[in-house]
Chain A
């Protein structure tokens, strides 16, 4: 076992650092939706032009085809350089694109993949529904086959970036009377098609990052089905497993920086003299170190075995809850100043309010604990 990097890997780190140093924009990502979209597109385009887009995509699809250790290095340097979140490009680059790579026809890949990497097409995800959250297999949105088209009716919710998206990875029920995981299909949905209504949802942080989407007799060509009619569940799950493994690295570097900042703040305003504050900061610092150790360990396992195991859920539960505690400490150190927060402010309160998403989105902490209990520990199923 060792925590060192080879000379070649060190050189690669230098290369990442140098490029990021001279290219990361000085301004922060704007909060206004339209400005943020332009900002996200410009940044993604800059990454693409310099050859840094799609670091985990195979080279034949325009990606960099980095090894897993190179991805770790890039993501660590990316976070250390405080490079922007990829924002609106998130779904295309991290979910939609990888799913297409694993499941789509050559024609579909040739059309969509370059557009995603160049930020010419923004994607959103249509998985959750009002009645299908943690229980994703409860999907009710229907697609009736009519000739060579699907006629879609229903609604999706918590769809990030739907209000700016060009395409959606839409999972719907294409087999009448089917239940649970069977009879679902994964479809490329054109978000500009007639019959689609998007209603942005304002979050308690004041941000409108996600939306409700309604489908009223929306017609989708049947060739937009990816991976075959009725195979939607398998196709959707291939997306989820693609991004595990290295997905936590950037969060951890960010968390480590946040804890160091909090220690500095508490030292500056004297609150570190309160033993309970000092104790909790010490605890957070130890746990952030452990989160990195656990991710390194998981990545080493994935490199040996080829596939992430249920241990990814352990990292997921631990880092998301750790993040929540860091954000809570952030507002604790603000004291009464917290009360001056207004929608539009980009500060510790904003981070704290947004942070609630981390233990809910993409499988809540409670669902993750079921996965740990059942798939890792071998306890009998609850349902």
Chain B
């Protein structure tokens, strides 16, 4: 039993962070370079899930949490899952119930249909920006019937990686609030010295730690073929969604007036959190 990353995983994680800081800063989330996708492909994240790569789900969870922290394109989730279970190596968008997300350069999308992973084909010409300013989306009045992936683990895999994105998103909001609380001064002191603010930051850290811990456990359960894996993964996704949403809102509160503006960054993780909750969503019945 060991729920901490080993040295190799830590090295991979730090290399990931270094690349993301240079090539995918969160501040530019709404204006990503067109070459970003090929850069991510070159870094190997979109295909790290292929069996021949020999990486476990725990390692994937670590890396995808970092991608999520920088609000990486959401099609990385569906593309990585498709690469693992269908062998497709091209970009695959994310299918929700009535939307397809991150559609540039692809006409297929992966989503959950009655709890099973499946692929649909869609027409991409009408893509627009919606609530999450970092993601182009298409609205579908009618969802085409999917070709289902004949492997129950594919759905759990998709949900696990989406949970990892949520954990990263929650941590991004928490870190942003804590750093701001250290430098913003009122009444002659950094606002982080006031317990009213400090406890909001502490609660954000608690939510992030809870969600990250459950993510690790769920990833290990999936690796080990544990009998309760579906529950552990559902719990991870539920807690990650909640942490991302609640931290997203709290981050804006800590920032005060500037937090409400379009110019500042706090709205970016909140809007991403609202989007992620619809990716491989968890129902009450999944947890009981």
Contacting residues, chain A, for B203 (C-beta < 8 A):
369
Residue B181 CB within 8 A of the other chain: yes
Residue B220 CB within 8 A of the other chain: yes
Q: Choose from B201, B216, B231 the contact partner of A1 (Cβ within 8 Å).
A: B216
Determine which residue in A263, A283, A317, A369 has the highest number of CB atoms from chain B within 10 A of its CB, and name it. Answer: A369
Determine which residue in A263, A296, A368, A373 has the highest number of CB atoms from chain B within 10 A of its CB, and name it. Answer: A373
Q: Choose from A2, A9, A374 the contact partner of B198 (Cβ within 8 Å).
A: A374
Q: Choose from A9, A293, A368, A373 the contact partner of B214 (Cβ within 8 Å).
A: A293
B204 nearest CB neighbor, chain A only: A377
Residue A311 CB within 8 A of the other chain: yes
A305 nearest CB neighbor, chain B only: B4
The complex places the Cα of A219 from the Cα of B44 at a distance, in Å, of 73
Q: Is the CB of A2 within 8 A of B217?
A: no
Contacting residues, chain A, for B264 (C-beta < 8 A):
none
Contacting residues, chain B, for A378 (C-beta < 8 A):
178, 182
- Residues in A277-298 with C-beta less than 8 Å from chain B: 278-279, 281-283, 285-287, 289-294, 296-297
B287 nearest CB neighbor, chain A only: A282
Residues of A within 8 A of B (CB-CB), count: 49
- Chain B 258-288: CB-based contact to A (< 8 A → 1; otherwise 0): 0000000000000000000000000010111
Cβ of A381 to closest chain B Cβ, rounded Å: 7
Contacting residues, chain B, for A69 (C-beta < 8 A):
1
Main secondary structure of the interface of B (DSSP, over half): helix
What is A's interface to B at a CB cutoff of 8 Å? 1-5, 9, 69, 72, 263, 272, 275, 278-279, 281-283, 285-287, 289-294, 296-297, 300-301, 303-304, 311, 314, 317-318, 366, 368-370, 372-374, 376-382
A267 nearest CB neighbor, chain B only: B288
Q: Is the CB of B213 within 8 A of A297?
A: yes
The complex places the Cα of A366 from the Cα of B203 at a distance, in Å, of 11
What is B's interface to A at a CB cutoff of 8 Å? 1-6, 9, 56, 58, 178, 181-182, 189-190, 192-195, 198-199, 201-203, 205-206, 209-211, 213-214, 216-217, 219-221, 223-224, 226, 231-232, 234-235, 238-239, 284, 286-288
Contacting residues, chain B, for A9 (C-beta < 8 A):
1
Q: Is the CB of A1 within 8 A of B5?
A: yes
Contacting residues, chain B, for A318 (C-beta < 8 A):
206, 209-210
Q: Is the CB of B220 within 8 A of A3?
A: yes
The complex places the Cα of A3 from the Cα of B189 at a distance, in Å, of 45
Q: A2-B220, A373-B199 are in contact. Are A300 and B214 (CB under 8 A)?
A: no
Contacting residues, chain A, for B193 (C-beta < 8 A):
379-382
Q: Is the CB of A379 within 8 A of B3?
A: no
B226 nearest CB neighbor, chain A only: A3
Q: Choose from A281, A287, A304, A382 the contact partner of B210 (Cβ within 8 Å).
A: A287
Q: Is the CB of A286 within 8 A of B2?
A: no
Q: Is the CB of A286 within 8 A of B234?
A: yes
The complex places the Cα of A296 from the Cα of B3 at a distance, in Å, of 6
Q: Choose from A279, A291, A301, A317 the contact partner of B4 (Cβ within 8 Å).
A: A301
B3 nearest CB neighbor, chain A only: A297
The complex places the Cα of A301 from the Cα of B2 at a distance, in Å, of 9
The complex places the Cα of A374 from the Cα of B198 at a distance, in Å, of 8
Q: A378-B182, A379-B201 are in contact. Are A286 and B287 (CB under 8 A)?
A: yes
Cβ of A377 to closest chain B Cβ, rounded Å: 5
Supplied contacts A294-B210, A382-B194, 20 more A-B pairs, CB within 8 Å: A1-B56, A281-B288, A282-B286, A283-B287, A285-B287, A286-B235, A286-B239, A289-B217, A289-B232, A290-B239, A294-B209, A296-B217, A297-B4, A300-B2, A368-B202, A370-B202, A373-B199, A380-B192, A381-B193, A382-B193
